[in-house]
Amino acid sequence: MNIFDVKHLSLTSRICLADLGCAVGPNTFMSMQNILECIKKKYHFQFPDAKPPDFMVFFNDLPSNDFNTLFNSLPLDGCYFAVGVPGSFHGRLFPESSIHLFHSVSSLHWLSRVPREIFDESSRARNRGRIHYTNAPAEVMNAYKAQFGRDMEEFLSARAKEIVLGGIMFITMAGIPDEMVHSQLPAGVMYDILGRCLMEMAKEGVITEDQVDSFNLPIYAASCEEMTELIQRNGSFAIKAMELINPSLGMTGPTNIQEWTNHVRAAMEGLFIAHFRARSVVDEIFDRLGKKLEEDAHLVEASYREKIVLFAILRRI
């Protein structure tokens, strides 16, 4: 938090922070609590005799997020004012120059939509028999990359209007080393196996091939090189730090397959239910995924990588 300058906040009666893509887990509050504690300590150190400002924390996610569950677990210490902000972070969410710090964890790799070309029968990027760009032709990969580029431009442009001059943005998202293909990552192995599970179910008549061919995961893992290019092209933020760091879920070594499957399901179940419409089908999809990941544990182990999470600190200029 040394990057966060509180000097220009001495005349501010309110400091506003926003968590973009907050979901409902306990880590949401833990992260914001840690950030707030750091800011308070810096403020007290630099202005020991000043009355501390009020803190407002805006928790943002899509309208489908369970905000009731989120706020039912809100800490009761009353150290900040909490506000729910439903809406897509790919567009505007806040008034101009109203936010001092943005924070986003495990959200920006989610695209605003699956690229249109993926479902276009006349496109070379038509992605039949797969649910992701992992192991797909270059045209599919390029369609995902282009969509991510458009999304990031919208995201950065919106945040540039909403954040104060000198404000800070912390980003943590799925990343990939430069020049590495996605099939070499644990997530790539998992997406490939998940696609095979769906095709297997289609051949058995549990679902249809059309249902598989009309379903793709809107997820893209960017490299530091890609992110740097997009941020510099936008021109609203200076990159104060950017690196690939280790994942928190233990995917750099042996892991509990069932635990990993449960984590994946928690993140993606809503997409599958919305598309396949039947919870029993979704139950079977993830049951098969767990079993196949166990069967192909050697592929999972071979994909273990350190430094596959992209962490960045940006400052508004």
Res 10: pLDDT? 61
Say if residue 34's pLDDT is above 60.
yes
Max CA separation in the chain (angstroms) = 72
The better pLDDT of the pair 4, 105 is held by 105
> What tens digit of pLDDT does each residue of 56-90 get?
999 999 999 999 999 999 988 878 999 999 999 99
Say if CB 140 and CB 118 are below 8 A apart.
yes
Q: Which of 4-13, 96-105, 158-167, 289-298 is the least confident region?
A: 4-13
Q: Give the DSSP H or E segment for 241.
A: strand 237-245
3-state secondary structure 166-213: EEEEEEEEEECCCCCCHHHCHHHHHHHHHHHHHHHHHHCCCCCHHHHH
Is residue 64 included in any domain, yes or no?
no
CATH number of residue 292's parent domain: 3.40.50
Domain count for the chain, please give it.
Answer: 1
Is residue 209 included in any domain, yes or no?
yes
Say if residue 26's pLDDT is above 90.
no
The better pLDDT of the pair 93, 256 is held by 93
The DSSP bridge partners found for residue 61 are 86
Is residue 144 included in any domain, yes or no?
yes
pLDDT band at 9; cut points 50, 70, 90: low
Is residue 109 included in any domain, yes or no?
yes
Q: What is the pTM of this model?
A: 0.93
Say if residue 3's pLDDT is above 90.
no
> What tens digit of pLDDT does each residue of 92-107 get?
999 999 999 999 999 9
Res 61: pLDDT? 98
Residues 18-47, mean pLDDT to the nearest whole number: 90
Residues 18-39, mean pLDDT to the nearest whole number: 91
Number of other residues whose CB lies within 10 A of the CB of residue 197: 22
Is residue 23 included in any domain, yes or no?
no
Q: Which residues, 6 or more positions from 83, have their beta carbon under 8 angstroms from its beta carbon? A: 56, 57, 58, 59
Res 172: pLDDT? 97
Res 28: pLDDT? 87
Q: How many helices and strands (H and E) does the chain possess? A: 9, 7
Is residue 49 included in any domain, yes or no?
no
Is residue 138 included in any domain, yes or no?
yes
DSSP label at 129? T
Q: Which domain holds residue 247?
A: 88-316
> What tens digit of pLDDT does each residue of 174-201 get?
999 998 999 999 999 999 999 999 999 9
pLDDT band at 306; cut points 50, 70, 90: confident
Q: What contacts 24+ positions apart, CB below 8 Å, involve 90-94?
A: 90/151, 90/154, 90/155, 90/158, 91/154, 91/158, 92/158, 92/161, 92/162, 93/18, 93/58, 93/60, 93/158, 93/162, 94/18, 94/58, 94/162
Is residue 139 included in any domain, yes or no?
yes
> Residue length, the chain?
317
Count Cα neighbours of 297 within 13 Å in the Cβ-side half-sphere. 11
Res 12: pLDDT? 81
